[in-house]
Amino acid sequence: MFFSHLDIWEDATARSAAEQMACDEALLEHAVRPVLRCYEWTSPAATFGYAQRLEKIRHFAAGLPLMRRWTGGGVVLHGDDLTLALAIPTSDPVAGMTSMSIYREIHEGLVRALSVTHGGVRLVLPEDCREGAACFQSPVPLDIVVDGIKICGGALRRSKAGVLYQGSLRLRNIPIAAIGAALSKEHAKFSPPGKMEGNVVSLVEKKYGTGSWINLR
């Protein structure tokens, strides 16, 4: 078990790529205890890590709309995946762990949960790794694979509010309840506070929806 309690938000709201990224950041700002947001995409898009240069990764996006993430990592093509955002406020002891430890704990929990319905799920070994800017073509240690094929990668961002994990999971029939059970002693349904949506709108207007954010580097 990772958390003593985890709130789970299966978010079915239709959002643009900018709105999805803004919602993840706003979730961390408003979380009073760990919250896992699970969502899908109404239209295909590609996200890329905060530190990446746009001109160097554009060709990996396969012509899809591009959006820079607040977290790091490579290029991720969204559309058929289940996207995860885990917000860990500073008040939770887990936020004080090292980034590598948090990443490992999250992915070990996902492996346990996915193994309930899928065979051959494991963490990436060093010999599985290869370089590249496209995230799912370039597994790194602690990513998740099935039969040598990467199915999950993620990245972290620390701020004064806590830690945000963003990940992409490429499997069908994902057992959300099993994920909650694997990551926490107890879990419950999450309902976002009303003021959070206003924060999402503000982040889109001032950050994620602007050309300066996309072209930051």
Work out the burial of residue 113: count CB atoms within 10 Å of its CB; fewer than 13 is exposed, 13-18 middle, 19 or more buried: buried
Give catalytic status of residue 135 as yes or no. Answer: yes
User: Rounded CA gap, 217 and 147, in Å?
Assistant: 36
In contact, 51 and 68? CB cutoff 8 Å: no
CB burial of 150-189 (b: ≥16 within 10 Å; e: otherwise) equals bbbbbbbbeeebbbbbbbbbbbeebbeebbbbbbbeebee
With a CB cutoff of 8 Å and minimum separation 6, the contacts of 136 are 76, 77, 150, 153, 168, 170
Backbone angles phi and psi of 68, in degrees to 5 = -75, 135
CA dihedral (46, 48, 54, 56) positive or negative: negative
User: Rounded CA gap, 11 and 38, in Å?
Assistant: 6
User: Which is the catalytic residue, given 23, 38, 129, 135?
Assistant: 135
| Helix boundaries (H) for 40-87 | 54-57
User: Rounded CA gap, 151 and 129, in Å?
Assistant: 14
Q: Which residues carry out catalysis?
A: 135
